[in-house]
Amino acid sequence: MATWNSRGLRGSTLEELINRTNEQYREKGLALIQKIPTPITPVKMDKTSRHITLAYFEQKSTVDYIGAVQGIPVCFDAKECCVKTFPLANIHPHQVAFMDEFEKQKGIAFFLIYFSADNVFYYLTLRKLKEFWKRMEDGGRKSFRREELDEEFYLSGKNGFLVPYLEGIQKDLQLRD
Protein backbone atom coordinates (compact mmCIF):
# COMPACT_ATOMS: atom_id res chain seq x y z
CA MET A 1 0.00 0.00 0.00
CA ALA A 2 1.18 3.53 -0.72
CA THR A 3 2.42 5.46 2.27
CA TRP A 4 2.02 9.11 3.15
CA ASN A 5 5.45 9.98 1.72
CA SER A 6 4.99 7.84 -1.38
CA ARG A 7 4.64 9.32 -4.84
CA GLY A 8 2.21 6.47 -5.51
CA LEU A 9 -0.56 8.12 -3.48
CA ARG A 10 -3.68 7.90 -5.64
CA GLY A 11 -7.42 8.63 -5.39
CA SER A 12 -8.60 5.95 -2.98
CA THR A 13 -5.61 6.49 -0.69
CA LEU A 14 -6.20 10.25 -0.80
CA GLU A 15 -9.80 9.58 0.19
CA GLU A 16 -8.61 7.34 3.04
CA LEU A 17 -6.29 10.08 4.36
CA ILE A 18 -9.16 12.56 4.34
CA ASN A 19 -11.47 10.03 6.00
CA ARG A 20 -8.90 9.42 8.77
CA THR A 21 -8.52 13.17 9.25
CA ASN A 22 -12.31 13.49 9.49
CA GLU A 23 -12.29 10.80 12.20
CA GLN A 24 -9.61 12.70 14.13
CA TYR A 25 -11.57 15.95 13.87
CA ARG A 26 -14.76 14.17 15.03
CA GLU A 27 -12.99 12.49 17.98
CA LYS A 28 -11.60 15.85 19.12
CA GLY A 29 -15.01 17.55 18.70
CA LEU A 30 -13.65 19.94 16.06
CA ALA A 31 -15.81 18.95 13.09
CA LEU A 32 -18.32 16.43 11.81
CA ILE A 33 -17.66 15.75 8.13
CA GLN A 34 -19.07 12.83 6.15
CA LYS A 35 -18.09 11.26 2.83
CA ILE A 36 -20.95 11.43 0.34
CA PRO A 37 -21.21 8.20 -1.65
CA THR A 38 -21.81 8.50 -5.38
CA PRO A 39 -25.17 6.84 -6.13
CA ILE A 40 -24.80 3.91 -8.54
CA THR A 41 -27.10 1.34 -10.08
CA PRO A 42 -25.55 -2.14 -10.32
CA VAL A 43 -25.82 -3.82 -13.71
CA LYS A 44 -23.79 -7.01 -13.17
CA MET A 45 -22.79 -8.80 -10.00
CA ASP A 46 -20.42 -11.67 -9.31
CA LYS A 47 -22.77 -14.12 -7.61
CA THR A 48 -20.03 -15.94 -5.70
CA SER A 49 -18.39 -12.87 -4.13
CA ARG A 50 -21.48 -10.61 -4.28
CA HIS A 51 -19.30 -7.81 -5.70
CA ILE A 52 -20.61 -5.37 -8.27
CA THR A 53 -18.70 -5.87 -11.52
CA LEU A 54 -20.56 -3.35 -13.69
CA ALA A 55 -22.62 -0.31 -12.69
CA TYR A 56 -23.59 3.14 -13.89
CA PHE A 57 -23.92 6.44 -12.04
CA GLU A 58 -27.52 7.34 -11.22
CA GLN A 59 -26.86 11.08 -11.16
CA LYS A 60 -24.04 13.60 -11.22
CA SER A 61 -22.35 13.83 -7.86
CA THR A 62 -21.93 17.27 -6.34
CA VAL A 63 -19.19 17.15 -3.69
CA ASP A 64 -17.18 14.44 -1.96
CA TYR A 65 -17.66 15.65 1.63
CA ILE A 66 -20.23 17.62 3.60
CA GLY A 67 -20.75 18.46 7.26
CA ALA A 68 -20.20 21.12 9.90
CA VAL A 69 -17.21 22.74 11.56
CA GLN A 70 -18.00 24.48 14.85
CA GLY A 71 -21.55 25.16 13.62
CA ILE A 72 -20.53 26.31 10.13
CA PRO A 73 -21.82 24.24 7.17
CA VAL A 74 -18.92 22.95 5.05
CA CYS A 75 -18.67 21.08 1.77
CA PHE A 76 -15.64 20.19 -0.32
CA ASP A 77 -14.38 18.08 -3.14
CA ALA A 78 -10.99 16.36 -3.20
CA LYS A 79 -8.89 16.31 -6.36
CA GLU A 80 -5.47 14.95 -7.17
CA CYS A 81 -3.02 16.39 -9.66
CA CYS A 82 0.34 14.84 -10.60
CA VAL A 83 1.73 17.92 -12.39
CA LYS A 84 2.10 21.63 -11.56
CA THR A 85 -0.83 22.62 -13.79
CA PHE A 86 -4.38 21.74 -12.71
CA PRO A 87 -6.89 21.24 -15.57
CA LEU A 88 -10.26 22.86 -14.89
CA ALA A 89 -11.85 19.97 -16.80
CA ASN A 90 -11.38 18.01 -13.53
CA ILE A 91 -14.09 20.21 -12.01
CA HIS A 92 -17.61 20.07 -13.40
CA PRO A 93 -20.01 23.00 -13.87
CA HIS A 94 -22.69 21.33 -11.70
CA GLN A 95 -20.16 21.12 -8.84
CA VAL A 96 -19.37 24.83 -9.07
CA ALA A 97 -23.10 25.64 -9.20
CA PHE A 98 -23.83 23.51 -6.13
CA MET A 99 -20.94 25.03 -4.19
CA ASP A 100 -22.05 28.53 -5.16
CA GLU A 101 -25.57 27.82 -3.86
CA PHE A 102 -24.06 26.28 -0.71
CA GLU A 103 -22.10 29.46 0.02
CA LYS A 104 -25.21 31.58 -0.57
CA GLN A 105 -26.70 29.62 2.36
CA LYS A 106 -23.79 30.85 4.54
CA GLY A 107 -21.73 27.67 4.14
CA ILE A 108 -18.09 27.30 3.16
CA ALA A 109 -17.25 25.42 -0.04
CA PHE A 110 -13.74 24.59 -1.22
CA PHE A 111 -11.54 22.12 -3.06
CA LEU A 112 -8.75 20.12 -1.46
CA ILE A 113 -6.11 19.57 -4.10
CA TYR A 114 -3.29 17.10 -3.61
CA PHE A 115 -0.28 17.87 -5.82
CA SER A 116 1.17 14.37 -5.72
CA ALA A 117 4.50 15.10 -7.46
CA ASP A 118 5.38 17.52 -4.64
CA ASN A 119 3.42 15.74 -1.89
CA VAL A 120 1.52 18.90 -0.86
CA PHE A 121 -2.10 19.73 -0.14
CA TYR A 122 -3.75 22.97 -1.17
CA TYR A 123 -6.98 24.53 0.06
CA LEU A 124 -8.59 26.18 -2.98
CA THR A 125 -11.34 28.61 -2.01
CA LEU A 126 -14.43 28.70 -4.18
CA ARG A 127 -13.69 32.42 -4.77
CA LYS A 128 -10.28 31.63 -6.28
CA LEU A 129 -11.67 28.74 -8.33
CA LYS A 130 -14.35 31.06 -9.74
CA GLU A 131 -11.62 33.50 -10.87
CA PHE A 132 -9.95 30.70 -12.85
CA TRP A 133 -13.36 29.50 -14.09
CA LYS A 134 -14.32 32.98 -15.37
CA ARG A 135 -10.96 33.31 -17.12
CA MET A 136 -11.63 29.98 -18.87
CA GLU A 137 -15.17 31.02 -19.85
CA ASP A 138 -13.79 34.30 -21.24
CA GLY A 139 -11.54 32.31 -23.59
CA GLY A 140 -8.43 32.15 -21.40
CA ARG A 141 -6.48 29.23 -19.96
CA LYS A 142 -8.40 26.04 -19.23
CA SER A 143 -6.13 25.34 -16.27
CA PHE A 144 -4.22 27.10 -13.52
CA ARG A 145 -0.58 26.83 -12.51
CA ARG A 146 0.67 26.31 -8.97
CA GLU A 147 2.50 29.64 -9.09
CA GLU A 148 -0.89 31.36 -9.49
CA LEU A 149 -2.03 30.06 -6.08
CA ASP A 150 -1.89 31.99 -2.79
CA GLU A 151 0.98 30.59 -0.69
CA GLU A 152 -1.00 30.98 2.54
CA PHE A 153 -3.45 28.24 1.54
CA TYR A 154 -0.91 25.41 1.37
CA LEU A 155 -1.66 23.07 4.27
CA SER A 156 1.24 22.46 6.63
CA GLY A 157 0.50 18.98 7.94
CA LYS A 158 1.27 19.87 11.53
CA ASN A 159 -0.53 18.95 14.77
CA GLY A 160 -0.80 15.27 13.80
CA PHE A 161 -3.56 15.66 11.21
CA LEU A 162 -2.94 13.94 7.87
CA VAL A 163 -4.84 16.55 5.82
CA PRO A 164 -5.24 19.61 8.09
CA TYR A 165 -7.92 21.40 6.10
CA LEU A 166 -9.27 23.20 9.18
CA GLU A 167 -6.21 25.47 8.78
CA GLY A 168 -7.53 26.46 5.35
CA ILE A 169 -11.05 27.02 6.65
CA GLN A 170 -9.68 29.29 9.39
CA LYS A 171 -7.73 31.40 6.87
CA ASP A 172 -10.74 31.44 4.53
CA LEU A 173 -12.99 32.74 7.32
CA GLN A 174 -10.49 35.44 8.30
CA LEU A 175 -10.47 36.75 4.74
CA ARG A 176 -14.30 36.87 4.63
CA ASP A 177 -14.62 39.22 7.62
Dist. CA 140–CA 132, nearest whole Å:
9
Is the residue at 46 inside a domain?
A: no
pLDDT of residue 5: 41
Q: pLDDT band at 57, cuts 50/70/90?
A: low
Is the residue at 58 inside a domain?
A: no
Q: Which residues are annotated as a binding site for Mg(2+)?
A: 62, 64, 77, 95
pLDDT of residue 55: 61
pLDDT of residue 156: 82
Check: CB of residue 21 under 8 Å from CB of residue 168. Answer: no
Is the residue at 47 inside a domain?
A: no
Dist. CA 40–CA 43, nearest whole Å:
9
Is the residue at 5 inside a domain?
A: no
Mean pLDDT of 25-32: 96
pLDDT of residue 110: 98
The Cβ of residue 35 has, within 10 Å, a number of other Cβ atoms equal to: 14
Is the residue at 6 inside a domain?
A: no
Q: pLDDT band at 10, cuts 50/70/90?
A: very low
Helices (H), 65-154: 93-104, 126-137
Is the residue at 57 inside a domain?
A: no
Domain of 123, in residue numbers: 11-36+66-176
pLDDT of residue 26: 96
Is the residue at 56 inside a domain?
A: no
Extract the runs of DSSP E, i.e. beta strands, from the chain.
31-35, 40-46, 51-57, 65-69, 72-81, 85-87, 108-115, 120-125, 143-145, 154-155
Residue 73 belongs to domain with CATH number = 3.40.1350.10
Largest distance between two CA atoms of the chain: 57
Is the residue at 146 inside a domain?
A: yes
pLDDT of 1 above 70: no
Report the DSSP pairing between strands 85-87 and 154-155: unpaired
In tens, the pLDDT along 101-123 reads 999 999 999 999 999 888 899 99
Number of structural domains found in the chain: 1
Dist. CA 118–CA 120, nearest whole Å:
6
Q: Which residues are annotated as a binding site?
A: 62, 64, 77, 95
Least confident range of 56-60, 67-71, 129-133: 56-60
Check: CB of residue 115 under 8 Å from CB of residue 122. Answer: yes
